[in-house]
Amino acid sequence: MSTTVSVDIPRDPTAPREARRAVERMGDRIAPDIAPDVKLLVSELITNSVKYGGEGAVTLKLETDEPRRLRVEVVDQGAGFVPVARNRPATEVGGWGLHLVQTLSNRWGVYEGSTHVWFEIDRRGDDA
């Protein structure tokens, strides 16, 4: 059975923490071994939305049909962007959000012309 949660998060400095709490409220619907990755990626995307997005709340959507597979979407009112790979030295601060999403998720993307970013984690076949 699929579970979907949608949370509007105020655009302020507490937004990443509120997003992590939303993930925690999913409880055992998210496997404990993937929850840290989900919290990290949600924090990164929410932070980007707060820093670069438009006005109003940021919407976080979490959908899972089994504990080791989920889809996350972060939607704000920004004007959109084109995702680009990190092209700065690793010693420079910042700019790791989308790199982390690409590295830790199985699939991810951006709806063209928007600031609606999604990622999927599917670890059903992992032994770890």
pLDDT in tens, 84-105: 554 555 555 455 677 888 899 9
**How far apart are the C-alpha atoms of 29 and 11, rounded to whole Å?**
26
Residue 27 phi, psi dihedral angles, 5° rounding: 55, -135
pTM as predicted: 0.83
Q: How confident is the model at residue 127 (pLDDT cuts 50, 70, 90)?
A: low
Q: What is the pLDDT of residue 86?
A: 46
Q: How confident is the model at residue 33 (pLDDT cuts 50, 70, 90)?
A: very high
pLDDT for residue 59 is more than 60? yes
pLDDT for residue 126 is more than 90? no
Query: What topology does CATH give the domain 3-122?
Result: Heat Shock Protein 90 (3.30.565)
Q: What is the pLDDT of residues 35-47, one digit of tens each?
A: 999 999 999 999 9
**How far apart are the C-alpha atoms of 35 and 28, rounded to whole Å?**
10
**How far apart are the C-alpha atoms of 62 and 4, rounded to whole Å?**
6
Ranges of beta strands (E only) in the chain are 3-9, 58-66, 69-75, 107-110, 116-122
* Residue-averaged pLDDT of the chain: 84
Q: What is the pLDDT of residue 87?
A: 56
